[in-house]
Structures are given as C-alpha cells and as structure tokens.
Structure 1
Amino acid sequence: MFYLIGLGLGDPTDITVKGLEIVKRCARVYLEMYTSILGCPQEELEAFYGRPLLLADRDLVEQGADEILAGAGEEDVALLVVGDPFGATTHTDFILRAKEKKVPYKVIHNASIMNAIGCCGLQLYKFGETVSIPYWDETWKPDSFYDKIRLNRLNNMHTLCLLDIKVKEPTPESLTRRRKEYQPPRFMTVAEAAQQIMTIVDKKDALERNTILNEMSLCVGLARVGHDSQRIVVNTLRKMTQTDLGAPLHSLVIPAKEIHPLETEFLQQYTTIKLEDYNH
C-alpha cells in the first residue's frame, strides 16, 4: 500500500493517530520537504516516530515518483507531506502514478494553511481563488496573480496569497554545467509580497484610480500558522511592506472590500487601526 500522510502545520505531534500508526509499520517512509517546511528538524520527527526517514528533496519529488512507489504493491510505503497531502498539486501526480501502476493507495488528511487561515478571523466561505506570489528577479516579473486578487475584490471575496519558497533551486550558472549548484533556501516574507503587489497597483490600478486596491487597503500578514510562535498583523498594504514577522513561513491575505462585523471585531485585536471606521 502507498500512503500519502499529512503532517499538519506545527510540530511532530500534529500527525494524526492514524497517520502515526501507519508510519511506525511502513517498510519505507519518505519525508517531502520541497513544497513546504515543518517547524522542526528531521531528527525530531525521527525521534518522535521511532524510525528513520528518507528525505524526498525537489529532484526526487518531481522526477523520482517511480522510485518512491517501487515495491509499494508488496509492502507499505509512505510519503509524509507538511500540511495536507492535497495542499499541493505535486502530490496529485503520485496518486495518478499509483493508479497507473495498480498500486493501492490511501490518503491520511491533516490541517493545512488552506483551512487554518481562518485563525485570523476572516470567514473561510468568503475566500475566493487562492493565488501564489512568485519571487521576481531582474528579468522575470510575472503579475498575472494580481488579476485573481482583483477579481476576488470585485466579487467581495477574500484572497489567500501563498508566498514563494525556494528550496534546492539551481543557480543560473549551474544549469549549463553537468554538476548542479544550488542557491541558499529562501522564503518570501509578507513585506516582500506586499511590495510586489504595491508595484503592480501603482502600474495597473492607476487606470482605475485605485478603486480596486490601493496603498491604504487593508491586508493581513500571518507567520508560522499552527506554531507556538504564530503571529498575525493587520495593516495597510503600504505599511505591510515594512512589517517584519520573523521566521518563515509567511502568508498574506487581502480581505474583501466589505468585512462582516464579526470579522472586523476579530481582526481588531491584531492592529491599532480603528477598523469599524476604515474604508477597506
């Protein structure tokens, strides 16, 4: 049997009882640390589970599905995923590969940022399409994600922005060599994300006189959701470009233009701005 097991968002104890029982009996257990990160070292997981884990890095996750699935028809093999297994489309491919190989599979769900984002007080059923904000560089500055934020705002829906993670990213120079060299890991902050959105607002929404989004629009910055060190800050988009929420992972929420009174009351604890009188 092949198992996809969600680990949740915090520490080793966030795994479900069902997931832990499966981990303990599997012949091989892989830990996927490419699409997200857990707030503890691999060694802590191994100590809690009482067994070694095989690290599934970017190359293995993207190109080594056959290696991970090998033998799963005769013995139990698990892939551990931070959050929920279906929080990233990458893991859907593992299920399709398993079905193609006629390998039986089972998914063990857990909490992910997609539902835990409700911790900020914004109601989950009022969120529109989730967007991913990529790192920009000198020659590549994609802004198509902003069109989705804009559409959500026009439809009076909140937007969850997932911020870029760069883990085991090849250096541009090494792409032309046989031996790959990798950039240091990077994790986008809410300040970086807000700055990129501000740049797009200044360019695009000037034509609409900034009625969709502007520097005074509210946004919610979150860091390390599900951890003991979780932080939430509500600020204007402009001030969020200067907000330091510390260590990763960060997420950014652009609220709807109209916020329910209960949402306003809950958000108020995270800001000095008087939200009930604020034009979102």
Structure 2
Amino acid sequence: MLTFIGLGLFDKTDVSEKGLSRIRNADRVYLECYTSRLMGATREGLEQYYRRPVTPLYRSDVEQDPDAMLEEATTKDVVFLCAGDPMVSTTHADLRIRAASRGIPTAIIHAASIASAVCGLSGLQNYRFGKSCSLPFPQKNWFPTTPLDVILANLSQRLHTLVYLDIQDDRYMTVPEAVALLEEMAAARKEKIPLYVGIARAGSDEPVVRAGPGELVRACDFGPPLHILIVPAELHDMEREYLEMFAGL
C-alpha cells in the first residue's frame, strides 16, 4: 500500500488527524523534500512528532529511481509525505500511476494547499486564476522566459497567475528576486506588469502579504521563506478592497 499524505503549509501540526494516524501506523515513512518544504519544522522534529523514522527523498529518488520504495509498497504499508496537498505536483501524480501499474493499492489524504491558501490571503478569487508557472533561478547561458509568456497569456484573458518560486537545496527565491527577474523579462519585450502580490510563510501565525507595482514590492522585506508570487489581472472591486485592507495596496 502506498499512501500519499499532505502535510499542509507550515509546520508539523498542519497534518490532519487522519494523516497523522496513518503515519504513526505505517511500516515506512518517506518525506519528499524538493517540490516544497515545511519551513516551520525539521525532519528531526517530525520524527519526534510522528514517533517514526523519516527517510528524505529528493528529485532523483522520486522521478528517476523510485523502484526501491515501490517494491516496499508491494508488501508493506508505505506513506509518502509532502508539504501542501499531494496531487498539486504532477510528479506525485506520475508516481501514483507507476504504483498502480504495478498493482500497488494507493490512497490520498489531502491537506491545505498553497494553491487555495493564496486566495484567502490575497482575496483574489479562486475561479479567476489561469495557468500557473514556475520561476527558476537563471543559470549561466540559461534565462528562461516561459513564465512571462504564461503571465501575458493570462493577463490577456483577465486571469491571475500564481508563480511558484524556485527552491534549490538551501536556496529559496524571494519575492523581490522574482519581481526583479520578471521585470527584466518584461522590459526586454517592452511589456509592463502593472501589479504584483507577494506572500511569505503562508500557514504560519504571521504571514506577510504585500501588493503593489514592481518597484514597491521589490522594496518590501518579506522575511524568511517560503515565498510565493501572484501577478493579478484587472481587479474586481472586492478584490481591490481586500488587497487595500490586508496587503497595503
């Protein structure tokens, strides 16, 4: 049995009671550590809370070499943990398909996702979001502009864009860094992004939400990670009022 369990947004207490019970009774516990992370928890703290040892998994373990874990799941009760909700990431959907193709029973225990949390924190309406995108750190001779293409396509349809910010080992892209990258891309194309909403530490007791044009948002101190960015389309009246009240627009 392979059970995908979402851990929520920030710390060890965000997991559901159902998820916690399944973790504590599992034969083996794996924690996926590359698509997102619980910034309010350590692996050692999770192990103490779960009363079970936790084995970390990284990109190659999940996408290229999951065979050992899947083999265990043919005879044992294995849980696969991730921050947020399990099936927001396509790599987790692929892993479930692989398990099912081997005849391994699977299940999902859901949790809070950043995809829905940003709506509550920003007041931007769920049904007005278009395609999301990921913004990677540029590398030498590599500066992908696909995120700008997605944003401009959404703006042309009056849709908001959720921009996931890169995580590399212990390096976390910040909202100001992300805005600077997008502003550079837009300037090169003679385009203009009128408004940004930056969010930091969703799910914590003190999240930060700031809205405004690029120059203003780049100057804000969002504090520690994780950060995420929204590029809103034209605002409805209630969305604007919400951002004015809760995000300093």
| TM-score, normalised by the number of residues in structure 2 | 0.95
Aligned twin of 1:46: 47
Which AA in structure 2 matches 1:263?
A: E
| 1:179-198 mapped onto 2 (5 Å cutoff) | 185-198=170-183
CA contact (8 A) 1:234 1:270 kept: no
* Residue-pair matches, total: 247
Cα 1:4–1:186, aligned 2, differ >3 Å: closer, same or farther?
same
Question: What's the CA shift for 1:271?
Answer: 4.8
Which AA in structure 2 matches 1:28?
A: R
Question: What's the CA shift for 1:125?
Answer: 0.7
Question: What's the CA shift for 1:269?
Answer: 2.3
Separation (CA, whole Å) in 1 of partners of 2:184 and 2:246? 25
Q: For 1:20-76, what per-residue CA distance to the aligned partner results, in whole angstroms no more than 9, with x for missing partners?
A: 111111110111111111021111111211221111133322333111111312220
Task: Work out which of the residue numbers 116, 120, 132 in structure 1 matches 2:134.
Answer: 132
Separation (CA, whole Å) in 2 of partners of 1:11 and 1:109? 15
Aligned twin of 2:199: 222
| 1:84-163 mapped onto 2 (5 Å cutoff) | 84-118=85-119, 119-163=121-165
CA contact (8 A) 1:65 1:97 kept: no
Unaligned runs of 5+ in 2: none
Aligned twin of 2:237: 261
Separation (CA, whole Å) in 2 of partners of 1:91 and 1:246? 29
Secondary structure, in 3 states, of the residue corresponding to 1:70?
Answer: helix
Cα 1:253–1:95, aligned 2, differ >3 Å: closer, same or farther?
same
Secondary structure, in 3 states, of the residue corresponding to 2:52?
Answer: coil
Q: Which runs of 4+ in 1 moved over 6 A?
A: none
CA contact (8 A) 2:122 2:247 kept: no
Shifted more, 153-162 versus 239-248: the winner is: 239-248
Cα 1:125–1:142, aligned 2, differ >3 Å: closer, same or farther?
same
* CA-based RMSD: 1.4
| Higher RCO structure, 1 or 2 (CA under 8 Å, sep 6+) | 2
Separation (CA, whole Å) in 1 of partners of 2:65 and 2:186? 40
Aligned twin of 2:227: 250
Which AA in structure 2 matches 1:80?
A: L
Which AA in structure 1 matches 2:131?
A: E
Separation (CA, whole Å) in 1 of partners of 2:141 and 2:204? 36
Secondary structure, in 3 states, of the residue corresponding to 2:35?
Answer: coil
Secondary structure, in 3 states, of the residue corresponding to 2:221?
Answer: coil
Which AA in structure 2 matches 1:134?
A: P
Unaligned runs of 5+ in 1: 168-184, 274-280
